[in-house]
Amino acid sequence: MTNAPPVTLTIAGSDCSSGAGIQADLKTFQHFEVHGLTAVTCVVSETSRIVRAVHPVPVGIVSDQVSLLLESFPVSAAKTGMLFSAAHVRAIAGILAKHRGIPLVVDPVMIASTGDSLLEPEAISAYRESLFPLARLITPNLPEAEVLLDEKITDEAGLESAALRLSARLGTAVLLKGGHLPGPECLDLLVENGDIFRFREARIPVAGSHGTGCTLSAAITACLARGESLPSAVESAKRYLGKTLRHSYEFPSATGESIQALNQGTSIGKNEA
């Protein structure tokens, strides 16, 4: 009988195009050889080009999924993605508060790569009050950090200041993703206990970036489940994300527009990520 792998849990939305959400998380978990569990919060009709409809799963069903999985499996790390409403956020936080020993990565999914809103406005305060205090790490991108701080971030100096203030204000480690800043390089900043870790890479020219946030946070979660330190987990996850971007591809659609997809999962090859 083989030894069981670490168990990871994603609490997120379902993306029918499989580029983001729980589908992206599961492909990423598979690559890192952890056993992935899913609790579905929303069913989303979307591609990398459009978000056409969002159907929230009833809060009671989401809560039952999360409770059942935590009761049934030895979860080593968990992550949240698209939670949609304040009621969803508070219900999930109420359950996770009883499992403080499980490292939690919170990806505060607010805005899709298409620009569509994925979070009800009143849910932001629920994140601040109930979910962020439970997190081992939160992973906002630039627009999400601007919402959380209620200010614009226009350069790398502002990025560093924002990351430090977010970490201090929220009482947790923060990985602030700076890919929305202009320039030939992308800078992500990890702040943990006042220490800053910089991850700078050349910008990779791709048609789109649908699912990068989900993939990165899932990879960090998997690496934490495997016992890596937080800086090491971020470094491993960044390396994997870079490989998925470099191996991304496109499909022609019936409308003539191309659909971009990351090459997530085991097809990249373990020795390459």
d(C-alpha 33, C-alpha 222), whole Å: 8
Q: Shortest CA distance to 94 belongs to which of 71, 136, 121, 126?
A: 126
pLDDT digits (tens, 9 = 90+) for 199-241: 988 888 776 678 899 999 999 999 999 999 999 999 999 999 9
d(C-alpha 84, C-alpha 108), whole Å: 10
Q: Shortest CA distance to 109 belongs to which of 94, 100, 120?
A: 120
What confidence tier does 1 reach under pLDDT thresholds 50, 70, 90?
very low
Whole-number pLDDT of residue 265: 63
Q: State pTM to two decimals.
A: 0.93
**How many C-beta atoms surround the C-beta of residue 73 within 10 A?**
14
Whole-number pLDDT of residue 271: 45
Whole-number pLDDT of residue 270: 54
What DSSP string runs through 158-204?
A: HHHHHHHHHHHHHTSEEEEE-TTS-SSEEEEEEEETTEEEEEEEEPP
| Domains of the chain by residue range | 7-268
What DSSP string runs through 57-88?
A: PPHHHHHHHHHHHHHHS-EEEEEE----SHHH
User: What mean pLDDT comes out for the span 88-94?
Assistant: 98
The H or E element spanning position 123 is helix 123-126
Whole-number pLDDT of residue 104: 98
User: What mean pLDDT comes out for the span 64-71?
Assistant: 98
Of 40-49, 60-69, 224-233, where does mean pLDDT reach its minimum?
40-49
The H or E element spanning position 235 is helix 230-246
Which CATH code fits 7-268?
Answer: 3.40.1190.20
**How many C-beta atoms surround the C-beta of residue 2 within 10 A?**
4
